[in-house]
Structure 1
């Protein structure tokens, strides 16, 4: 059994903003953003473990704003790194669970296009999300 996470409300908000923000970034880069957002959100809501409980909590603490994808990326990419670092300090297994969950969600969002193949813009955004998850 892995150690329980001790997360503040702010920690939980950062984790949720990072996860849902990653899906939002890929959706924003997609030719079919609504399909991408739905597919990614379904994947996040299917998360298990302690991270699953955090991601699925009914909350209004996800605050992503900005008028451009760059504005969104300025918030989400550092949040991904911060969330991963926080989880890594407390419970490396849950940090891995978070990384895997976000990457599965981003992959689902990326494949939600008409032909099931992400385009180069989506591939690049996925690369940036992956890098942020592994910077911690």
Structure 2
């Protein structure tokens, strides 16, 4: 039995069949990377410092900092909305100076509170989105490490700063 209907090559699939057909002159209105909230560069830097600082703070307080940082950062990259666009942008404006957990906390916790107040004034839905993103990052980071009293205490302080 021969298979004559089968093509001789595999994997050569053209995607032209999947493109929607457009009539000449028919254009669609589509805006890429639209954000519902307009943020200044300083506001974006504050959001990034708060989010990545929270993950760094939790990682510094854990027994396995690399696992916690990797899982928490992956959770931040999965954010959506305006917060997702801000966190996914490649920038070098995250300034986290400090050699101890206390010095890091002195920068991160006020940045979290400031970010929540800022987003709460501009768009309450984005403030909730930010809060949920940080909580997801905390849960992801703590799921990868053994629960310790130190990591639990830091996670509680981060949550309190989000609610302040």
For Structure 1 versus Structure 2, the TM-score category normalised by the shorter chain is: over 0.9
Tell me which of 38, 50, 60 is aligned to 2:92: 60
Partner residue, 1:15: 47
Q: What residue ranges of structure 1 are gaps of 5+ in the alignment?
A: none
- When normalised by structure 1's length, the TM-score is 0.93
Partner residue, 2:109: 77
Q: Does 1:108 find its partner at 2:140?
A: yes
2:90 is paired with a residue whose SS is coil
1:62 is paired with a residue whose SS is coil
Structure with bigger helix share is 1
Q: What residue ranges of structure 2 are gaps of 5+ in the alignment?
A: 1-34
Give 1:11 shift: 0.1
Q: Deviations over 1:93-121 (max 9, x none)?
A: 000000000010011111111xxx42111
With a CA cutoff of 8 Å and minimum separation of 6, indicate the structure with the bigger relative contact order. Answer: 1
For 1:85 and 1:101, the matched residues in 2 are separated by 16
Partner residue, 1:87: 119
Partner residue, 1:129: 158
For 2:74 and 2:39, the matched residues in 1 are separated by 24
For 2:52 and 2:46, the matched residues in 1 are separated by 10
Q: Where do 4+ consecutive residues of structure 1 move more than 4 Å?
A: none
